[in-house]
Amino acid sequence: MSEFVPGFVCSSRLVVVALAMCCSLTSGDVLGADWPTHRGNLARTGCVDGQPGPMSARVIWVHKSSDHYIAAPVSAGDSLLVSALAAFNTSTFQSLAIDPGAKQRVRWAKSVPYLKLPTVCAPAVAGNLVVFGDGMHQTDGAVLHGVRLDAGLPLWQLPVPGQLVHLEGAPT
């Protein structure tokens, strides 16, 4: 017998997708010791090998944009995943090539009409799957997106309707 909880709606599709995501995000690739958490370790130093950083830093490439990058970038293979707000708070989500000699810095990008709400969180990556959400604290409804890391092709979307529903945190 199930109990009715006012204001709470749970579909079997949502439960299945949530369980599938949990399983995929806790696979062996993600649980590796080389970068287990945000900024690499519990102290958030960005250093997981115990070695000091470079003696002198140098810029190896620059990506000039009028967009406002608002979430922590995520390194995934030979890409850097970034989330930005463009004019009028339109969302832009990009995969940038990290190779200093890349002829084209932006590998792929998602924006309107695919993204209808601002994306303000860092994504999660598991293998070739990139998961990120959209919506800000003042928006109604949100969408959890799954796209391919290599090409940015949409794999799935999970719309989450409701008042003041947003996905402002990383999906990890």
Instruction: Give residue-wise pLDDT tens across range 38-76.
Output: 677 777 777 777 788 778 888 999 999 999 998 889 989
Top CATH class of 61-160 equals mainly beta
Q: pLDDT at residue 172 above 50? A: yes
- What does the alpha-carbon distance between residue 69 and residue 85 come to, in Å, rounded to a whole number? 7
* Continuous segment of H or E residues that includes residue 126: strand 124-126
Rg (Cα) of the chain, in Å, rounded?
A: 18
A 10 A CB-CB count for 118 gives 22
pTM: 0.71
- What does the alpha-carbon distance between residue 171 and residue 141 come to, in Å, rounded to a whole number? 16
